Structure 1
Amino acid sequence: MSQFLPNNQITLLRNGEEYFPALEAEIDHAEHEIHLQTYIFENDATGQKIAAALMRAAGRKVTVNLLLDGFGSKDFPASLLDALQAAGVNVLFFRPKISPWTLKRNRLRRLHRKVSVFDGHVAFVGGINIIDDFDVPKDKTSPRIDYAVRIEGPLLVPIMQHVHTLWARTAWSQLKPATINIHQLDQPATGDKLAAFVVRDNLRHRRDIENAYLAAIENAKSDIFIANAYFMPGRQFRKALMRAAKRGVRVRLLLQGRMEYFLMIATHAFYSMFLRAGIEIYEYHKSFMHSKVAVIDDDWVTVGSSNIDPFSLLLAREANVVVIDKGFAQTLKQDLEIVLAEGATPILWDDWSRGFVLKRLVSWVVYGFVRFVLGVIGQPKQ
């Protein structure tokens, strides 16, 4: 498990409106080394602005390492890639070979984390891709909901270690030089927050994020508030939530109401058991909700890239930050309360049990398909 480190300064960033200006500012202030790792890097106005900032940094002789996922950024235009590389930006694609006709495990192991580090002094971790907030299907009047954190302090040490290791391994696997400038990782105390950097990979950290959630849920005394875009928890996770509700903990799930991918309908397979257990379910319909956050007992918070589904918890490379701090928890919880009040609809037991017969049937069929896929690629049953 990851180690909690004290004396960090951690700032919550809401949506791209707060995240991208902060990200661009750190790129422009960097003097030595930039690492930016993301699943999607879209060639829209936001992506072009961040790309221009990266090229400006490379022009100042800053080492700029950009790591993109081979599937999430499969449409990354060659013209932008050429421009970045011509400006001196080092660009690599994690697992660039894509095959839509195979269920081989390594094809499904994607780089889903969103982590960036600047001069070894400032890091961003969260769920926000490099894509415009309003780049959403259909209704483009409301931004997608997502979060990230800006970090300074001792937590930079493990973040830098993971970022360097992944960059180096990806470069070596593609027979390219691993350009890394900064090796001094000592970080001074800059704040008062206790936090841990928690990753999911296929080596020593296969279940760290899931276990962090489970430990917090099992120890919850009063309140669990989870806002998660793709919610398909395994058996152990489901039982932990229902046990919490049974012992009197208020459990709220804020889930995405708009169907972005067909497999998302599998989430509905669990609605009946959750509602019977007293768990509150809300669906966000105002826009697309890509949040991967939770607040438990007013002092435990996680913000990151990991959804609560088999693909995030069992396959993808993810990165979350867990913060133990009442003030920070209150800040996020208040924002989630606003999101819930302004754009979410409660799912009520009477309505769900008496109607939606076809939706419930289809959800179990789709969930069965997901379980079948996991069985084919050799993942443990959940």
Structure 2
Amino acid sequence: MSVAVEHIATDQPPDDAKARDLDYGWQPGNRIELLENGEAYFPAVFEAMRQAQREILLETFILFEDKVGHELQGILIEAAQRGVKVIVSLDGFGCGELSPAFLGELAEAGVTVQMFDPAAKIVGIRTNWFRRLHRKIVVVDAAVGFIGGINFSADHLADFGPEAKQDYAVQVSGPAVADLHHFALAQSGRQVRTRRGWRRRQQRPSPWPTHTDDGLVRLIYRDNLQHRDDIEEAYIHALSKAQKRVVIANAYFFPGYRLLREIRNAARRGVQVQLIMQGQPDVLLAKLAARMLYDYLLKDGVVIHEYCQRPLHGKVALVDDDWSTVGSSNLDPLSLSLNLEANVLIRDHAFNQQLYQSLETLARNHCQTMPEKRKPRLWLWRLTVGFLVFHVMRHFPALTGWLPAHKPRLKPFESQAHEH
């Protein structure tokens, strides 16, 4: 029998375009819990889904047919069969290897399955390399939300072996979940209502709120429409405010000059700046690109650690004693210029300290520290090359928009499910 799997257009706004172009303000009174690796993340998410009564919204870049993927599939099928509305949005590149049978079983149970920018292989090669749905968001009953960098795959568990990823996510309860719910529902193409507190772009809230109450959370995102630079600007703004310490742990680190300059300037004015980079990368090019920038940063006192125990997949940062960010966005051209990403900004002393302790343990016990060079070699040449490469990548959204695989379109397609 055949089952329909919906096809989401690349960067095409949903029917409620006004909702999509809203900024989300700082929401007070939230409870934020750090979830480190799959060992903490999967049990929390799966238990929330098992308790769902009305709705499950899920966006992910990668879903594999492994033990994690099959457990997720079973939970979603069971939820749909008891009447819960389940909407699953998957990336056509990251989830391109899912079998029709796996997707068909979900659809037959009543799960709405959507694929962002799917494309058939040409001579065995994928064509949908750019503009990926890279977000990882789960919202259950509009009451609890999860956001971070962890995909639904077994390589986020330690028992996967040496290639298991080190990563982070957060569980949010409180008023900010309404923003996560509104955003996830709008991005799935569903009609959503606006409310006070969701602001137009010209009234963008500050990435650094003037009030310092704990439990403040703000959702930020990037797309290739009206929010191209929001995550990058949040980093730059927070770095410019730093007075004591900055810790950035990022899997793919190859930012533009403005962000590099703010990192350097923070170190120059006496801020303790630490970067945790990949030492055992799953993509070798990521390590080579990051190292092009080391001399520029080391010469001004930035401390750089390379995590060598297993691949680093995290996308987190903290500034001073109460500002943090966790999400899906790397600091590289793909995340800052092409992908669809989402982070949360967090103003909370306890959470900041918890994240700091986790990263400090990582740096102290499982990293090698790059030596400071008194006479850095070729740093200007490397920075110039890096600058040129980054800003060539900046133009990729326009260039890739000409490719047939990335023309905006919205149409269903049929996937053949196995007969039972």
Shift of 1:70: 0.6
Over residues 90-138 of structure 1, what are the superposed CA-to-partner deviations in whole Å (9 max), with x where a residue is unaligned? 101011126789xxx98611110100111111110111000114579xx
Report SS of the residue matched to 2:30: strand
- Confirm or deny: 8 A CA contact 1:99 1:107 kept in the other structure: no
Matched residue SS, 1:82: helix
Q: Is residue 17–residue 133 contact of structure 1 (8 Å, CA) maintained in 2?
A: no
1:203 is displaced (CA, Å) by 2.3
In the alignment, what sits opposite 2:61? Answer: 39
Are 1:306 and 2:332 an aligned pair?
Answer: no
1:273 counterpart letter in structure 2: Y
CA contact (8 A) 2:165 2:311 kept: yes
CA distance in 2, matches of 1:268, 1:367: 13
Name the residue aligned to 1:219.
241
CA gap 1:377/1:192 in 2 versus in 1, 3 angstroms: closer
Distance of 1:241 and 1:362 partners within structure 2 = 17
Q: What displacement does 1:340 show? A: 1.3
| 1:150 aligned residue (171, 182, 189) | 171
Structure 1 residues 10-34: Cα deviation after superposition (integer angstroms, max 9, x where no partner): 1111110010001110111001111
User: Offset of 1:353 from its aligned partner?
Assistant: 4.8
Are residues 225 and 373 of structure 1, via their aligned partners in 2, closer, same or farther at CA, if it must alter by over 3 Å? closer
Matches within 5 A, 1:140-179: 140-141=161-162, 143-168=164-189, 178=190
Matched residue, 1:174: none
Residue-by-residue CA offset, 1:169-210 (whole Å, 9 max, x unaligned): xxxxxxxxx5x7x979899xxx95011011111222211111
SS in 2 for 1:34: strand
Contact 1:8 1:195 in 2 (8 A): yes
Provide the C-alpha distance between the structure 2 equivalents of 1:164 and 1:277, rounded to a whole number of angstroms. 45
Q: Is the 8 A contact 1:67 1:94 kept in 2?
A: yes
CA distance 1:378–1:277, change in 2 (3 Å): farther
Q: CA deviation at 1:82?
A: 1.2
Query: What amino acid sits opposite 2:145 in the alignment?
Result: A
Matched letter for residue 156 of structure 1: V
Q: Secondary structure of 2:154's match?
A: coil
**Shift of residue 152, structure 1, vs aligned partner:** 1.2
Tell me whether 194-203 or 37-46 shows the greater mean CA deviation: 194-203
Amino acid at match of 1:291: G
* Correspondence for 1:329: 352
1:308 partner letter: L
Which sections of structure 1, spanning at least 5 residues, go unmatched?
169-177
Contact 2:30–2:175, Cα closer than 8 Å, also in 1: yes
The match for 2:264 among 214, 220, 242 is 242
Amino acid at match of 1:145: Q
Q: Give the distance between the partners of 1:319 and 1:376, measured in 2 at CA.
A: 20
Kindly state the Cα deviation for residue 374 of structure 1 after the two structures are TM-superposed.
4.0
Q: Structure 1 stretch 235-244 or stretch 79-88: which is displaced more?
A: 79-88
TM (norm. structure 2) is: 0.78
Tell me which residue corresponds to 2:37.
15
Q: CA, structure 1 residues 42+376, in 2 after alignment: closer, same or farther (shift >3 Å)? A: closer
Deviation of 1:66 after TM superposition, in Å, equals 0.5
Asked if the contact 2:255/2:390 (under 8 Å) is kept, the reply is no
Give the match for residue 105 of structure 2.
Answer: 83
Residues in 2 aligned to 1:118 and 1:184: alpha-carbon distance in whole angstroms:
19
Match of 2:49 in 1: 27
Contact 1:36 1:67 in 2 (8 A): yes
CA distance in 1, matches of 2:375, 2:150: 32
Q: 1:98 to 1:327 in 2, by over 3 A?
A: farther
Q: What secondary structure does 2:293 align onto?
A: helix
Once the two structures are superposed, residues 282-316 of structure 1 have per-residue CA deviations (whole angstroms, 9 ceiling, x without a partner) of 00010111010011101101011010111111111
Distance 1:84 1:19, change over 3 A: same
Q: Are residues 1:116 and 2:130 paired?
A: no
Cα separation, partners in 2 of 1:11 and 1:186, compared to 1, 3 Å = farther
Query: How far does residue 143 in structure 1 lie from its aligned partner after superposition?
Result: 3.7
Q: Distance in 1 between matches of 2:165 and 2:396?
A: 33
Q: In 2 relative to 1, CA 151–185 (structure 1 residues): closer, same or farther, beyond 3 Å?
A: farther
How far, CA to CA, are the matches of 2:246 and 2:122 in structure 1?
A: 38
Q: 1:208: which partner in 2?
A: 230
Counterpart in the other structure of 1:268: 291
Report the CA distance between 1:367 and its aligned residue.
Answer: 7.6
Q: Which residue of 2 aligns with 1:194?
A: 216
Distance 1:23 1:352 in 2: 49
| 226 and 289 in structure 1: CA distance in 2 versus 1, 3 angstrom threshold | same
The alignment covers a number of residue pairs equal to 357
CA distance in 1 between counterparts of 2:340 and 2:291 reads 25
